[in-house]
Each structure stands twice: as structure tokens, then as C-alpha cells.
Structure 1
């Protein structure tokens, strides 16, 4: 299967980025075709709400989102990996989700996995982030939420290496 991971970590080797890599490592070792998009390396602008895309199917903004959306359309499994900032998903991931308006109806029959990290050790610290992801999936035809990898209690870069989520991310990817 084609597995696409979208990592919203602004830090190279950040905690959510590391868990994303672990998931992909497991999936690749299980024989799946994997790809990772690091949002920090992409040129993505916020939606202008001009709705040109709804009129002609083409976004008025010329940046990397068209290519990202095409990869999302062709993937069977999508991993959304994000650090939690102030109890919500970071702006980088939200911008990607908002820009999916152009082709969201074409993103059908996808399985989604969520990878979330937060400084707060309580799982309920990521509730708003998960709610945001679920709201996105509600708009996609036949989207399935599969599993959530919780990297809570990971503040400093590298904290996740000694977190149970480190092995869990690999195992979930490996059993796809």
C-alpha cells in the first residue's frame, strides 16, 4: 500500500517528526511504499477564501499544495503527525488541512493515523487536536480513523526516544 505521512513539526528531529519516522520505518519494513512530506520544507500559503477552486477546480495560490493534495489523493494510508501548541494543532498542519478544500472530495477511501505530541503528560491535552483531525475526516468521503499515537509528556527535543509511543509508532506502522 501507498503510505503518505505529513509531518507538521517545524523542528528537524522534533518529537512528532521522530514518531512519524518510526511509523514509516515500520511500514516500510512491512513492505509498503512510504513517503514523508515535511511541511517545514514546503512553500504553503494560507487559504484566501476566494473560492476560485470551487468555481474552476484550481487554487488561485501557486505553491506546493497542489502537489501535496495529489499525493494525498493517490495514497491509501495518510499519517498526520503534529506537535500540539497551546492545546491545539500547530498552524502548519491547520494550513494544510484548510488548503485541502480544492480536492477534498477526491480524497476518498483513505485510512488515517494520527501522531500527536504534547508537553502536557495527560492525553486529554490533545483532545482539541484530535477533534480538529476528526472534523477534517468528516469532510472526506469514506475516511477511516485508524489509530492515534500519543506522545504526551514530550517537551524537549528527544524526549520521545524514551517514551512508549516510540515503539508503538513502529509497531503500528509495521502491522499495516
Structure 2
């Protein structure tokens, strides 16, 4: 299976990316092909809402979303990786998802397998409620086939994250895909 990891943290060595690396290790050991798109450091612009694409065409903006679009459409699975900022996804990942507008129909028809990996400093039991609900709504709307969620609470920095069960959970999930 071709798996596309969409990282969205501005911190290349941050907690969400640590969880992603554990997932990748498991998926590659299982024999999957993994590629990475770093939305946290890509040249991406927000959707203009101009509707030039008519939800089923090319976006008029010329940025790294052109590359990501082809990577997603060539993949069997996409993994959304994000730190939690104020109980939601990073602005970088939100920008990517908003830009799906230009190829909504293709995404819906593809029935792409997806997964969410998120890391939050907070460890309250309600910390991941909203991002999980948002992701599940995206799956319903875009006909994504959810393959699981790693919702890493208490993962405020790399050393905190390493001391939780979430790196191992991510690895095991990568092995079971």
C-alpha cells in the first residue's frame, strides 16, 4: 500500500512528528511504501473561496498544493499528523484540508483510507474531543475510510511523549495497517 504522511507541525522534531515516525517505522516494517509531505514547511496559501475550480478542477493558486494533490490521489492512504493548538488542528493542516475543495469530487470517489495522529500538551480526558469529531466529520463528508486515531495526550514535548504509551501505539498501528 502507498501511504502518504501529511505532517503539519512547524517543529520538525516535535511530538506529533515523533508519533508519525513510529507509525512510519511500523508501516515500513510491514512492507508498505511511505512518502511524506511536510505541510508545516511547505509553500501553501489558504483557499480564496473564488470557486474557479468549481470543486472539481484545478486551483488557480500555484503553490505546493499542486504536488500534494497528485500525491494524495496517487496514494492508497493518507495520515494526517498535527499538534493540537487550542484544541484543534494546526493552521498548516487546516490550510491543506480547506484546499481539498478544488478536488472534493475526486477525493469522494477515491474512498481514501485515512488516519489521524495528534499530539497535545494537555492530558484532560476532553482534550481530543473536538479534533476527533472534526476528523470523523471529514471522513463522513469526503468518504474517507478511517483506519484509526492516535490521540496523544500529555505529549507536550518530545521527552514527555517518549514517556507515554503513544509512540508504541503509533508503531503498532503502523504494523497492523
CA contact (8 A) 2:80 2:115 kept: yes
CA contact (8 A) 1:28 1:34 kept: yes
Q: Which consecutive residues of structure 1, in runs of 5 or more, have no partner in the other structure?
A: none
CA contact (8 A) 1:151 1:165 kept: yes
Greater displacement, 131-140 / 18-27: 131-140
Q: Which consecutive residues of structure 2, in runs of 5 or more, have no partner in the other structure?
A: none
Query: Superposition pairs for residues 25-174 of structure 1, below 5 Å?
Result: 25-54=25-54, 57-107=57-107, 108-141=110-143, 143-174=144-175
CA contact (8 A) 1:9 1:17 kept: yes
**Residues 74-125 of structure 1: per-residue CA shift (max 9 Å, x gap):** 1111111111111111111111000011112212221111111111112421
SS in 1 for 2:84: strand
CA contact (8 A) 1:123 1:150 kept: no
Alignment: residue pair count: 175
Partners of 1:111 and 1:4 lie apart in 2 by: 10
CA-atom RMSD, angstroms? 1.4
Q: 1:18 to 1:87 in 2, by over 3 A?
A: same
**Residues 138-174 of structure 1: per-residue CA shift (max 9 Å, x gap):** 2213x21121112101112432112101011011101
CA contact (8 A) 2:7 2:39 kept: yes
**Residues 14-63 of structure 1: per-residue CA shift (max 9 Å, x gap):** 10011011111110111001011111221000000001111771111110
Partners of 1:25 and 1:40 lie apart in 2 by: 21
Normalised by the size of structure 1, how large is the TM-score? Answer: 0.93
Normalised by the size of structure 2, how large is the TM-score? Answer: 0.93
